[in-house]
Amino acid sequence: MFSLTVRDHFMIAHSFKGATFGPAQALHGATYVVDVEFLRPELDADGLVVDIGLASDVLKETLGRYNYKNLDEMAEFEGANTTTEFMAKTIFDRLAERVAAGDLGAGAAGLSRLKVTLGESHVAWASYEGALPLDGA
């Protein structure tokens, strides 16, 4: 299995609901350093997993939706705890849609899996990994 990973980041405010979260129930924030790993069994005709330029651009656009935002005020997160692991799945879903839409190039049709890791500090990170294409695609 081949993989290619690209890294970027975004910075958000949010709060959590539930006694489990202790002091993190207050409004605070995080920098998330995001690693997106694209996986496939064989390389494309150019010898690539994915066009790294397109991958980096689509990642930046995807993170731009959330960058410099208060997640508590975004309709799509109403009723949810925007934990690091939850946000990893959110970024995964957005990117999977973009792959399915062809925005990472024709070669990206050969991608079989995607893994998104969000680093919240030097001592904690979370990820979501799943198959492509999306169910129902």
List contacts with a copy of itself (CB under 8 A). Answer: 1-9, 11-14, 16, 18, 20-24, 26-31, 33, 43, 46-49, 51-53, 56, 67-70, 80-86, 88-89, 105, 120-130
Query: What is the spatial distance between Cα 47 and Cα 27, in angstroms, rounded to a whole number?
Result: 46
Distance CA 5, CA 129 (A): 13
H helix runs in the chain, sequence order: 52-64, 84-100
Taking alpha carbons only, the member of 83, 89, 93 closest to residue 133 is 93
Which DSSP letter does residue 116 get? E
Query: Closest CB to a copy of itself among 52 and 137?
Result: 52
CB of 101 to a copy of itself, least distance (A): 19
CA distance 13 to 77: 13
CA distance 120 to 103: 28
Choose between 56 and 97: whose C-beta lies nearer to a copy of itself. Answer: 56
